[in-house]
Amino acid sequence: MNNNRLDSLLKILAENQTDAFVLFAIAKEYEAIGNVGEALSYYLKLKNHNPDYVGLYYHLAALYIKLDQKENALDTYEFGISLAARLGDHHAKAELMNARQNLEFE
């Protein structure tokens, strides 16, 4: 794999294993190159280390949908909606609610 951005992010992560932005960016990079297993792994690391990173839940749920794990996706949307409400992030809450509703009606 020749992905300079991913290599750079992994080096940065080595200095701070719990950096939320870097974990998220690595997950997105793996997802972009089609490595959904590694993407899922990094999303879950992010959730474990930084559960209040509200931007995670939309993307994690979308990955669960790609993996044909509808129940995990719905649970992830629900958790994200509750978190966004608790944090007062109305934009994230609305996006998560819309995505959840779209999935429920598929």
Query: What percentage of the chain exceeds 70 in pLDDT?
Result: 98
Is residue 55 scored above 60 in pLDDT?
A: yes
Residue 29: CB partners within 8 Å, gap ≥ 6? Answer: 3, 5, 6, 9
Q: Is the dihedral of CA 16, 53, 99, 79 positive or negative?
A: positive
Grouping H, G, I as helix, E, B as strand and the rest as coil, residue 70 is helix
Predicted TM-score (pTM) of the model is 0.92
Grouping H, G, I as helix, E, B as strand and the rest as coil, residue 85 is helix
Amino acid 2: pLDDT? 56
Q: How high does pLDDT run on average in the chain?
A: 95
Q: What's the mean pLDDT in 60-72?
A: 97
Q: Are the CB atoms for 84 and 93 separated by under 8 Å?
A: yes
pLDDT tens column, 87-101: 999 999 999 999 999
Residue 78: CB partners within 8 Å, gap ≥ 6? Answer: 100
Is residue 83 scored above 50 in pLDDT?
A: yes
